[in-house]
Amino acid sequence: MGSRVGVALLSFAHGHQGAWARTIQQRPDAGVVAVWDDDAQRGSAAAARLGVEFVPRLDAVLARSDVDAVTICAENAKHADLAVAAARAGKHIMMQKPMATTAADCDAIVAAVAAAKVKYMQSFNLRFDPLHEAIKEIVDSGRLGRISIVRRRHSHHFAIDPAERQRVLWWMADPERSGGGALMDEGAHAALWFVWMFGAPVSVSAEVITRIPDLPVEDNAVLLYRWAEGQLGVHQTSWTEVAALSTVEIYGDRGSLVATGTDIASTRVMPAGTPPLQVWTVEQGAWTQPAIELVRARSDVVAGPFIDCIVHDTPSPVPAEWGRAAVEMVLGGYQSARDGRRVTLPLPR
């Protein structure tokens, strides 16, 4: 690797690629050097906007010596093939969530990354949000005591209006390309959050429903996780929530925590002055409101840590194993809903 990390952008199918590119271009120690996309028109337009070369062949862009890393924003079903090819070419990888759409594809990515000894970072913007970092610190400190129930909601409203659905979700509502609907899309945020906060659960029970007529994927889901220590987690995700309050609720025997403003359903209607975080503990005997500034453009905060871990040769802040665990939680939820039973995690191979 030279003095700057050269990054190739693989696909603009997901809109977050543009935010990542802007972040990378603003850094003195990194830069976008090429774009590849299996949609040549889309890729060429993106490359022209960035002032870099569009490379129509994947093998050609991965063979370039000025490419040290790739960021992948393709349709979910294409993630594994792109990541495995990039790892085999010796390129570091940042992947849009979810990691993949099957457990086998997740295993293939984890194996390829380990064999090539490259860095893999699962895109997970909540990991770098000061509010969630504060929640993680409170949980790890033990201030809430023995935690019994955690509720995490992550939702938006973009499935309701047909025009908005086409503009925002388009291929995400095609099960062949997305692997699922609201649970695979928005639900991936919450699943990764649970893995970061508490580790992977040992079982999941779920219900998934579709309330929008003729939508070929689910638009709402509720999952119930159980951890080995006995703690329960409620995971709620939706494409049809027009307004909401809390996004996080954590209940322990020494305190409770409530947070808001970290999904679209809450931020779009959040009154001015609403405290994003409130904490109650037995010791204090009252609700406190730690001073936290919400991150409004959360898709902008992930590319920087990816470049940092390459430049400083530090471990990935969101490793491949987290990405795989989160996908298994989602897939286990689908299986539970289909079979009407609790599903043990990790899934059998």
Question: What CA–CA distance (Å, rounded) separates 6 from 307?
Answer: 10
CATH at residue 226: 3.30.360.10
Report yes or no: 27 and 304 within 8 Å, Cβ to Cβ: yes
Q: Is the dihedral of CA 57, 62, 63, 67 positive or negative?
A: positive
Same domain, 109 and 159: no
Question: Quick check: 266 pLDDT over 80?
Answer: yes
Instruction: Find, among 237, 240, 238, the residue nearest to 161 by Cα.
Output: 240
Across the range 65-69, mean pLDDT stands at 98
Residue 323 lies in a domain: no
Same domain, 144 and 234: yes
| Residue pointed to by tokens 């696909």 | 11
β partners of residue 281: 255
- Side chain identity at residue 186, one-letter code: E
Same domain, 166 and 216: yes
Q: What is the pLDDT of residue 297?
A: 67
Residue 180 lies in a domain: yes
At 202-258, the pLDDT tens digits run 999 999 999 999 999 999 999 999 999 999 999 999 999 999 999 999 999 999 999
Q: Is the dihedral of CA 316, 317, 322, 327 positive or negative?
A: negative
Question: What CA–CA distance (Å, rounded) separates 71 from 84?
Answer: 13
Same domain, 281 and 311: no
- Residue 1's pLDDT band (cuts 50, 70, 90): low
DSSP state of 302: S
As a whole number of Å, the CA-based R_g of the chain is 20
- Side chain identity at residue 289, one-letter code: Q
Domain encompassing residue 171? 126-294+329-344
Across the range 328-340, mean pLDDT stands at 98
Same domain, 234 and 276: yes
* Residue 332 CA to its chain's centroid (Å): 17
Question: What CA–CA distance (Å, rounded) separates 311 from 1?
Answer: 9
Question: What CA–CA distance (Å, rounded) separates 231 from 250?
Answer: 11
pTM of this structure: 0.96
Q: What is the pLDDT of residue 296?
A: 72
Same domain, 48 and 130: no
Question: Quick check: 2 pLDDT over 70?
Answer: no
Same domain, 180 and 256: yes
β partners of residue 6: 31
Same domain, 286 and 308: no
β partners of residue 260: 246
Same domain, 61 and 153: no
- Side chain identity at residue 281, one-letter code: T
Question: What CA–CA distance (Å, rounded) separates 225 from 234?
Answer: 6
Residue 270 lies in a domain: yes
Q: What is the pLDDT of residue 300?
A: 73
Across the range 252-281, mean pLDDT stands at 96
DSSP state of 8: E
* Burial class of residue 233 in the structure, from the number of CB atoms within 10 Å of its CB (0-12 exposed, 13-18 middle, 19+ buried): buried
Q: What is the pLDDT of residue 148?
A: 98
Question: What CA–CA distance (Å, rounded) separates 223 from 59?
Answer: 40
DSSP state of 78: G
Same domain, 151 and 233: yes
Q: What is the pLDDT of residue 299?
A: 65
- Residue 298's pLDDT band (cuts 50, 70, 90): low
The residues, ordered by sequence, that sit 6+ positions from 328 with a Cβ below 8 Å of its Cβ are 103, 106, 200, 345, 346, 347
Residue 349 lies in a domain: no
Question: Quick check: 50 pLDDT over 70?
Answer: yes
Same domain, 281 and 307: no
Percent of the chain at pLDDT above 70? 99
Residue 135 lies in a domain: yes
Question: Crossing angle for the helix pair 79-88 and 103-116, nearest 10 degrees?
Answer: 10
Domain tally, the chain: 2
Across the range 331-349, mean pLDDT stands at 97
Q: What is the DSSP string of 135-177?
A: HHHHHHHTTT-SEEEEEEEEE--TTSSHHHIIIIIGGGG-HHH
Same domain, 336 and 201: yes
Q: What is the pLDDT of residue 102?
A: 98
Residue 324 lies in a domain: no
Q: What is the pLDDT of residue 149?
A: 98
- Residue 4's pLDDT band (cuts 50, 70, 90): very high
Q: What is the pLDDT of residue 33?
A: 98
The residues, ordered by sequence, that sit 6+ positions from 24 with a Cβ below 8 Å of its Cβ are 7, 30, 31, 32, 71, 303, 307
| Residue pointed to by tokens 């309330």 | 211
Report yes or no: 327 and 98 within 8 Å, Cβ to Cβ: yes
Q: What is the pLDDT of residue 131?
A: 96
> Who has greater pLDDT, 109 or 293?
109
At 145-204, the pLDDT tens digits run 999 999 999 999 999 999 999 999 999 999 999 999 999 999 999 999 999 999 999 999
